Amino acid sequence: MLTQEQLTGVYVPIVTPFDSSGAVDLTSFERHVRWLADRGIHGLVVNGTTGESPTVAWEEVEALVKTAKNAVGGKLPVIVGTGTNDTASTVKRTELAGRLGADAVLVVVPYYNRPSQEGIATHFRKAAEVGIPVIAYDNPSRTGVGLTAQTAEAVLELDGVIGLKDSSGGIQLLTELSRLSSKPVLCGDDSYAYAMLCCGAKGGILTASNVVPEALVEMHRQFAEGDSNGAKQTFEGLLPLIRLLFKESNPAPVKWILAHRGIISSEALRLPMTSISAKLGQELEAYWNQAGELVK
């Protein structure tokens, strides 16, 4: 199981490939996992937001986790997204992930029903009581409610919670937590990856690592070894791509790139997600053609 001391580096919130019929494409998924593992990533997140978790059935999650674990052969931690907006369902999924051999679970703040801060804290406590290491996940732009610094501190104090994925849309929460808590925070917003390292983040769960894993691993290595200027330059070189990847709803742009590079067989998504516009496709192709070794 993953410990808080190990929660550092670049984790990939891996996409869930679908074939033309809409079924999960495990062949493409395994190829993508192996491709990422060969490029130095520090871990995988299966069934996260980038993996289209709202439309992936638990039986499909089980197949994805088994495929990922077999592909990495125990050399990389596999984290499984188990969070829902129902505490009982989240607990059940966390238990099931444990039986699958998940190294940790990623549990998002409950979405849509907008619980109180007390309700959010209790939700995480119930998940942590299962006994599988929990990474709390704050993403208020998607959930409708976010963690206050005080609630985040209380959640991080729970036994079994090993860290936080911070997609709060800035550095304010991280800077508060750097004062209040010693448990690791991972950046969950690609555009803040470098800034959050500077503010104390231990790494990131970064969408762009699906397509440029080596560059993001290098950025983390440079920063960890004290070369903040080198890390900044590496990150700034990636910013144009990051902006394109979030110009339309994630993970459509990422899937387009992976399909056009032949890493997955199709850019298909499940409704209500749809493929990117022709205009963005042209912009991505133009970027890829001129970006050179940075993205090859």
Residues making up the annotated binding site for pyruvate are: 50, 205
CA angle (230, 236, 238) in 5-degree steps = 110
Q: Which residues are catalytic?
A: 137, 165
Cross-strand partners of 186: 165, 203
Are the C-beta atoms of 102 and 73 separated by less than 8 Å? Answer: no
Q: Are 195 and 206 in contact (CB under 8 A)?
A: no
DSSP E strands: which ranges in 82-206?
104-108, 134-138, 161-166, 185-187, 203-205
| Dihedral over Cα of 80, 81, 87, 89: its sign | negative
H/E element, 254: helix 252-260
Which residues face 10 on adjacent strands? Answer: 204
Which segments of the chain are extended strands (E)?
A: 9-13, 43-46, 78-81, 104-108, 134-138, 161-166, 185-187, 203-205
